[in-house]
Structures are given as structure tokens and as C-alpha cells.
Chain A
Amino acid sequence: MRRLAILVLALIVFLPARASSAATDNTAQLVPIWPDVTPIASYDIQVALDIDTKMVSGHETITYTNSTDTPIPDVVFHLYLNAFRDSTSSIFMQESGSLSRGYSFDPDYPGGIEITDIRLADGTTLELDLIEDETLAKAELPEPVAPGETLNLEVEFQSTLPKVFARTGFYKDFFMVGQWFPKLGVWQDGGWNAYPFHSNSEFFADFGNYDVAITLPDNYVTGATGLLASTKANNDGTQTVSYHAEAVIDFAWAASPNFKQATRDVGGLEVVYIYLPEHAFTIDRALDATEAAVTNFGAWYGAYPYPRLTVLDVPDEASGAGGMEYPMLVTAGLEDPTGLGLMKGQYDHMLEIVTIHEIGHEWWYAVVAFNEAEEPWLDEGITDYSTVRLMEKEYGPHEMLDMGSIKMSYLEARRMEYLMMPETPMYGKAWDFGTSDYGVGAYSKPVISLLTLEGVIGEERMLKVMSTFFERYRFKHPTTEDFRATAEEVSGQNLDWFFDGLVYGKEILNYSVSSVEEHRVTVTRQGSLIIPTEVQVTFADGSEALEAWDGSEAQKTFDYSDRPAVVRAEIDPDHKLLVDLQWSDNGLLRRMDVWSWLAINCQILYQIQNMLLGEGGL
């Protein structure tokens, strides 16, 4: 869910073309290779954007194949934009207090979506009922769709875009068009998996092919999911741009007359950065981050499977549209950590963090398509874990903020959040969380926990777990239990501490060395989380002992009566266990470290002397 951008690699081969069909077609001389995935829900959409009324209206043809073994008696649509009709009536507004991503909803510019006509391919009109808070609609079918059968629906709809709010909408002549068309839920286990639009919740959809033709003023530049198939001038001041995408779970697009475009070839993948002129200074930074993400995530998890990746910049005033992932398209934008417009990225790497995070979602959302509503920790957690790893590798240390004496890494920022609410379970539906514990449960704690898992099973094993999971569940909808099975199988370990303790549970842990005597070292565990670790003991002659400790007892004493005096002991000396609430009590010396003590006191003395001078004293 939040941010994104993209990716990779070499397996995308452009073959010499069959002749392209449309005369005006200016992009399709090569036939791109799309992933070979049987489509379930495909959409053929023709719409027009009215830049004055901010409306997108038109027609969609849905081709849905029942790939399950139960007959489907009805259809359920998401009408996400109905969450924005006013500031109070929808579940989204009630949960969010009409605040999202730091921006408040402007009731003068509401959004909404209306289905004006829905019928079967044979012309039979269906009756559509709005349900829940009207962000869902349901229509009974005259006959169920039998397993293996295909259903065709013709839908007329009108969408009104709000002023940018919760990822989507307009700002002046900028349009970010997401969650904008009537979209089917996912038929699963004999029912439609489709929830009303909750404020923390993102999305869930079947894979399918999309053909989307958009008519808009001819001076507008567009960016979208998929590949541009054709651009047709209409001789009335408008143009029609057509996009095509296969094996994707959503389609989003953006348009502005001010957009400029920069491209880069990354190992055969075409990366496009669509930016606003005022952000031209971000071109290299955004493309470098994109290249790093595509290359590294490709190497860690598996190649990016689509023929193009578009990274989209957003206006400063519309940053509510930034930091979002869609298949083959991510939105980034400069993020000012102060929120005051004081920083333009000169001291920080928020642009890179956002870009890399959103591109990470191409693996963990777009390809491995988790149910973001039911298990948000999976896509956000795994994506943010990937982001932390890559930021450290490419931009570390202090890669998030480096401003004089204020230095911070992205991981440190996540650990800070974790330390504030470490008992938040990661598992839960998006709406089980409040705004702040959602950030911890879906982002910070998964990052800290997955890095701890990596520390315990080792980096190589961890990457093997992740790449196996990716390979196994590409273009599928895995759950937490699927991840558990893969992780336990590949690591060859029982990972109850991770899943029962941290994912589903609220267990916490603090390991410490509680005493160091001449020939004895005592270590202590606080909290019920038990993770195997090690204790490093240093003796007076400089020799060392590394003891494995499974942590099962609350306290354990190691006896060294036959060795030289102990001078120092440290539990988890390499700080592999990031979930440990206090590292500061991990190491203990038998005698105090006078040198370090003097160094700190020297600084304190200096501060006091300065204060005395500053207070007019001498």
C-alpha cells in the first residue's frame, strides 16, 4: 500500500514486431512479453475525462471467468469513490475523521461513482443495489455463473473525482485517477470477498487483462498502468489514449498538461519517470532509486514480470496522491519530513524511500497479490522490510535524514515506532487497527520482526525463503499461513516464536546480562517471547566464549570457575534480535569503563560551562 516503484530485469525480451495495427500507433512496434496468467476478471474500458466537472464517464465491458468450483449467483462491485461523497456518511470518513495521509477532505469537492446502466452481453438489464455504506453494490444474476463459465457485463458509469484525497482526485489540472471504475470483488470460498472501503484498508482483486481508452484534452500528458497502445487525435481538441496491460489486478492513470517524461533502460526494462517541471531536480534521484529497486528486488526475489514500470511524480499540494502503488505504476513525489515545506530533499532521502517502497509493492502486491484488506501486514510489512534493506545497502548509513547532528536511518525511524507500541499484533484486518497502531502493526513491527527473523535464520536463508515464496505465489493470493508454511519449510525451523509470538501475538522480549561476577555470568529474559540467541563472554586474558542460549528459562547462569576472570559479557552481541526492547542492557562489564565514563563527563562538563557563559556568567 503505500509507496512504490520499480523494477527489473532481463527476462523481458522484446521480440521483433508483428506489424502493429492502428495507423497512429506509435509505441507498439515491438511485441512485449506479458506474464502467462489465465485472466479471471478483465476490463475493457472507454472513458472521457471532463477537466471542468472533474468527471470520468464511460463504459466498461467486464469479462469474468468463474475459476472456482462453486456457481456464482450474483456479482458484487466496489464503488470506492462513494466513500468521498461527503465528510461524514461513509465508513471511510467515520474511521478516518475525514483525514487521510495527513490531508483533510475538502467537502466542497466531493467524489462519487454511479452505475447508470448494467446489463448482460445479451442485453438483459440487471438490478443493482447499493449495499453497506454504498461503497459496494450487488446485482443478482438471472442464472448463476457455473464453474468454468464466463460472464460478460456491460456497465455504464460516471465517476466524480474529489479534490486529491486518500490517493485519488484532482488538484488544479493534475488528475490522479485511482479506484475509479466499478470493480468486481474476489469470489472466494463460495462468497464475494469484498469489504466496504475502510480508511486503513487497501485493495484486493483478481488478475485480468485491461484495455483502457481515455479521451481527454490533447495537451494532456498521461501515465498509466500498462503500455501505451495508441494515441489518436480526435480533431476536436481532444485525443484518445489507449493502454493495454495483462496479468494485473488494477488499473490507474494520471494526467496533467505539465507532465514531462524521462526514461531509462534497466536491464531491458523500460522505466519511465513522469515528473512535473518544478521537480526536474528529482529526475536522477528517482531513476537511480528505481534502478536500484528493480535490480536488487529482482535479484533477491525474482524478476519484475512486466514490460514497463512508470514512476509518477505528484504536485506538492497533491502529495495525498503520492506514495501509492498500482500494477506497473507507482506514485512518489517529494515528501517533506517536517511537513512544513522546509525541506526539498537536500538532507533526506524520503524521495528514495517512497520510490523504493512503492516499487517493492510491484513484487508484494502487484504480483504476489495479498488481500490487503484482511492482512495488510503482509504487503506493507514485506515491502517495507525490502525498503529498509535496500536503503541501507544503497544509501546508508543515516540514509533517511542527515542534517548536522541529527542523523537517522529509515530502520531507526521504524524501530522508534515499534518501541512505542511493541505489543501491537501484526495480524489483523485493516479496520481492526487505529491510525497509529496500523502504522506499527502493518509497517514498523513487521520490519523489525522480519529483520529479526533474518538475524536468526541468516541472510542467505531469509532470501531463499522470500524468493521461494515469491516464485510459489506469483499471480496468486497467498495468506499469512502460506507464508508460514514456506518460511518453515525453507528455513527448516519451527518459527512459532515469529508467527505465534509476533504476527498473531503481542509477545515482547528484553534480553539482558544481569550480572557479571569473577567466574559467573547471569543472563535474564523479560517478556514471554523466546528467541534463541547467544552470549559472548570475554575473559581477562582476552579469550572469549560464545554460548548458545535458547532463552527458554527466565534466567540462566554460566559458570567459568576453570577460566580466567570474566571482564565482559554481552547477549546477542551482533544485535540480530531487533525486537529486543532494550539493547542498552545487553552488555555488562565487571568493572566500570572509566575511559568512556570520562569521555561522557567531559562532554557534560563542556555543556555546563557553555551554559554558565550563556547565562551571563563567567
Chain B
Amino acid sequence: MEAPVKTTSWQAFRNGLTRSIRYPQVILCAYLFNLLTGLLLAVIPALTLVDPAHRTAIQDAANGIDMWLVEEILGSTTTYSILQETASGPPPWLQQASLVVFFILLAVPVLAWLTASFLRGGILLAYVEAPQPFSWQRFFWGCWHWFGAFLLINLLLEIATLLLMSILLVGIVMAASAAGAWINWITLSLLVLIIVPWLAISDYTHLFAVVDQTRNVFKAFGKAFILIFRRPLALAGLFGLSLLMLLLIQAAFRILLPSLPPDWWPLVFVVTQVFIIARLWSRLVRWAGAVDIT
């Protein structure tokens, strides 16, 4: 059933690398959005940490996970009620900290949804139209043009993902309790078999919308769905290679990070930002490479 001339996974991956490097503006723009969103959210914990930053214990905390401090935080509800005698429940600072964490946990998916839906049209347009020279105007036109459509499809995909994941999770827990630990390897393999195609459908829904210049995301979704049955091996290869790239980046970082003195924050900041950019880049490579397998 396959058409005669096909791009292989490896070619697509290599083209993805060159295409993503050809447009460093795209990487820069995506990174800046990530950084600014992160900073926006980080302001809240930073403000709540101003008071604790007057404690000398902040110096221990800045030096990495301090088990003594962790224990005091875990025990703080007990300690607080004993020391206050009448009080029950967590100390006010812990309530505040829990609120901040809760807020961030809620805000992150929302901001991720907004920024990804916005930027993705422009990014994919640049890759689809490669090797055209980069134009900021064209980039932002792409962002704006597909913003609404991508907001919708990402919301639907997110809901579907949550449903899928909760069903899978229940299945895994039931399987693991019924059988031994070996079953985890089987469920892990099954998980990959489900997650990768799902990710591919999500990627290609966006891509087909841009390639076909349509905002009818349901049509694009249909094409993506057909594609994973048409080119399963090529897609698996591309996703495998980009996953490998991500794993290598992760591994390098895992080796590097523990050797940094945590309170030497300017260095830590540079290294962590390099890692964020590398992680972002591996995703853009996949998107840019996907253009070749359609």
C-alpha cells in the first residue's frame, strides 16, 4: 500500500535537525516564551520566600535538599499545634506555601496550553515553508491564524489524554496488584504502544492544519489518524530518534547537575537554561522532521 518514494525516519530526523537549526529565531522565540512564563509564575514563590530568606536556614536550603529542614517541614503541623497549644492544623506559612504550590500546579497547564497553542502555528509554518528565509511577520501571522483552532484541538486532546491516562493508570494498578512486578515491563511496553501513536496524532493534527492551510482541525485530525496507519514504522522511527535525543540530553544533564555547587546559582542558572533550550530543541527537531513524513 505504500507509495513508491518515501522519506525514511533517519532522513526525516536529519532534515528536522537542519531545519530547526536553520531557524534559530524559532528556538529563541519558543525559549523566551518558556522563560517569561516561568518567571511570571516564579514571582509568587519568590515573594513568599522573602521572609524565610532572613533565616540562616535558607543558606542550608540553598545548598541542596537539607534533610533536617525537610523533616521540620513534614513535622511542622505537629510542631505548630504543640507549640501554639490551642492551634490545630498546619501553620499559616505552610497553608500559604500549599496555596502557592496549588496555584502553580493549576496555572502551569493553562499557560502551557495558551503558549503552545499560540506559537505552534508560526513554528510549523516556518518549517513547512522551509527553506524560505525567516520572517517575523509571517511567523506571527501563523501564530495568530491558527491560535483559536489550536486552542480548541489542544483542549480536546488534553481532555482525551486525561481520560486515556486515567483508564491506563487504573489498568496498570490492577494488573500490578493481580500479578507480580514483571507485569510492569509488559504494561510499560503497552504504554509506549499507546502513547507514541497518540503523540503522533497530536503532532500531525497540528501539522496537517498548517500544511493544508486549514483551520478545520477535525479534518486535520482525521488525516493524522489515517497517517499513523499508513506510515507506522517511519513515524515510530522518527519518534524513537527524537526520544533518544531527549534521553541523551537528559543523561548529560543528570551527570552534570550534581557536580555543580547548588548555591553557585549563576552557574546553575546557565546550565539549567541550556538544558531547557536543549529539551525544547529536541521537540522542535521532531516537529521539523515530521514535515517530511506525510
Q: Is the CB of B74 within 8 A of A618?
A: no
Q: Is the CB of B112 within 8 A of A617?
A: yes
Q: Chain A contacts of B265 at CB under 8 A?
A: 595, 598-599, 602
Question: Would you call B243 an interface residue if the criterion is a C-beta within 8 Å of the partner chain's C-beta atoms?
Answer: no
B218 shortest CB reach to chain A, Å:
20
Q: Is the CB of B79 within 8 A of A510?
A: yes
Interface centre among B56, B65, B119, B280 (most CB of A within 10 A): B56
Interface residues of B, CB < 8 Å — how many? Answer: 58
Chain B 81-116 per-residue mask, 1 if CB under 8 angstroms from chain A, else 0? 011000000000000000000001000110111011
Question: Would you call A526 an interface residue if the criterion is a C-beta within 8 Å of the partner chain's C-beta atoms?
Answer: yes
Given contacts A616-B112, A616-B154, contact A596 B59 (CB under 8 A): yes
Inter-chain CA distance A568–B57, complex, in Å, is: 12
Q: Is the CB of B108 within 8 A of A584?
A: no
Given contacts A588-B56, A599-B265, contact A609 B109 (CB under 8 A): no
Q: Is the CB of A588 within 8 A of B262?
A: no
For window 357-415 of chain A, which residues contact chain B by CB distance below 8 Å?
Answer: 405, 407-409, 412, 415
Question: Would you call B276 an interface residue if the criterion is a C-beta within 8 Å of the partner chain's C-beta atoms?
Answer: yes
Chain A 581-602 per-residue mask, 1 if CB under 8 angstroms from chain B, else 0? 1111111111111111111111
The residue from B55, B109, B280 contacting A618, defined by CB atoms under 8 A apart: B280
Question: Would you call A422 an interface residue if the criterion is a C-beta within 8 Å of the partner chain's C-beta atoms?
Answer: yes
Inter-chain CA distance A420–B74, complex, in Å, is: 9
Q: Is the CB of A586 within 8 A of B78?
A: no
Question: Would you call A570 an interface residue if the criterion is a C-beta within 8 Å of the partner chain's C-beta atoms?
Answer: yes
The residue from B111, B268, B276 contacting A599, defined by CB atoms under 8 A apart: B268
Inter-chain CA distance A263–B115, complex, in Å, is: 67
Q: Is the CB of A597 within 8 A of B49?
A: yes
Q: Is the CB of B67 within 8 A of A584?
A: no
Question: Would you call B129 an interface residue if the criterion is a C-beta within 8 Å of the partner chain's C-beta atoms?
Answer: no
Q: Chain A contacts of B283 at CB under 8 A?
A: 613
Question: Would you call A485 an interface residue if the criterion is a C-beta within 8 Å of the partner chain's C-beta atoms?
Answer: no
Question: Would you call A606 an interface residue if the criterion is a C-beta within 8 Å of the partner chain's C-beta atoms?
Answer: yes
Q: Is the CB of A510 within 8 A of B83?
A: yes
Instruction: Using CB atoms, name the residue of chain A closest to B67.
Output: A412
Q: Is the CB of A600 within 8 A of B62?
A: yes
Interface residues of A, CB < 8 Å — how many? Answer: 54
Question: Would you call A554 an interface residue if the criterion is a C-beta within 8 Å of the partner chain's C-beta atoms?
Answer: no
Q: Is the CB of A405 within 8 A of B65?
A: yes
Of the 9-residue stretches B3-11, B37-45, B165-173, B233-241, which lies at the interface with chain A?
B37-45
The residue from A586, A591, A612 contacting B34, defined by CB atoms under 8 A apart: A612
Q: Chain A contacts of B71 at CB under 8 A?
A: 412, 415-416, 419
Question: Would you call A262 an interface residue if the criterion is a C-beta within 8 Å of the partner chain's C-beta atoms?
Answer: no
Instruction: Using CB atoms, name the residue of chain A closest to B75.
Output: A419
Question: Would you call B68 an interface residue if the criterion is a C-beta within 8 Å of the partner chain's C-beta atoms?
Answer: yes
Given contacts A419-B78, A602-B265, A602-B272, contact A581 B83 (CB under 8 A): yes
A612 shortest CB reach to chain B, Å:
5
B12 shortest CB reach to chain A, Å:
21
Instruction: Using CB atoms, name the residue of chain B closest to A612.
Output: B112
Q: Chain B contacts of A583 at CB under 8 A?
A: 57, 68, 72
A404 shortest CB reach to chain B, Å:
9
Inter-chain CA distance A547–B37, complex, in Å, is: 48
Q: Which 3 residue pairs across A and B have the least CB separation, nearest first?
A: A617-B112, A587-B56, A419-B75
Q: A421-B78, A597-B49 are in contact. List 9 more A-B contacts (CB 8 A).
A: A409-B67, A510-B79, A585-B57, A597-B58, A597-B62, A608-B38, A615-B109, A617-B34, A617-B109
